[in-house]
């Protein structure tokens, strides 16, 4: 049985509107006992229309990756074991 969110969790699907795009990925990172390493403890996605999240409890050190109006976040990459250890974004300049 696969696991999501550590020892379980829910799969969440976010359906963006045709004119909606991601402008920011933010969240928190820190220790998540009993895991001995620093992990992503919460995630929030901010679009030009609204915010989704936070997913999980926002505990630890805050982080955010925001693009200005001349670009959008079009993809994600990360590293995980039992927990999400790292996350990054792919950015595309807006079409003129």
CATH number of the domain within which 88 lies:
2.100.10.30
Residue 86 included in any domain: yes
Residue 66 included in any domain: yes
Residue-number span of the structural domain to which 38 is assigned: 22-93
Looking at the structure of the chain, the number of domains it has is 1
Round to whole Å and give the CA distance between 95 and 38. 37
Residue 75 included in any domain: yes
Q: What is the pTM of this model?
A: 0.81
Tens-digit pLDDT profile for residues 9-64: 677 889 999 999 999 999 999 987 777 889 999 999 999 999 999 988 888 999 99
Q: What is the pLDDT of residue 50?
A: 96
Paired tokens of 79: 């590293």
- Closest to 48 in 3D by CA, of 71, 78, 76, 77: 71
Residue 71 included in any domain: yes
Q: Is the pLDDT of residue 1 over 50?
A: no
Residue 85's CB is within 10 A of a number of other CB atoms, namely 15
Residue 1 included in any domain: no
């Amino acid at each position: 049985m696969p696991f999501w969110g550590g020892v379980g969790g829910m799969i969440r699907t976010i359906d963006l509107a045709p004119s909606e795009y991601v402008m920011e990925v933010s969240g928190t990172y820190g220790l998540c006992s009993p895991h001995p390493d620093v992990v992503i403890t919460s995630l929030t996605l901010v679009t030009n229309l609204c915010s989704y999240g936070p997913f999980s409890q926002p505990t630890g050190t805050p982080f955010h990756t925001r693009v200005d109006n001349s670009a959008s976040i079009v993809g994600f990459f990360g590293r995980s074991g039992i927990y999400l250890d790292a996350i990054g974004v792919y950015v595309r300049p807006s079409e003129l």
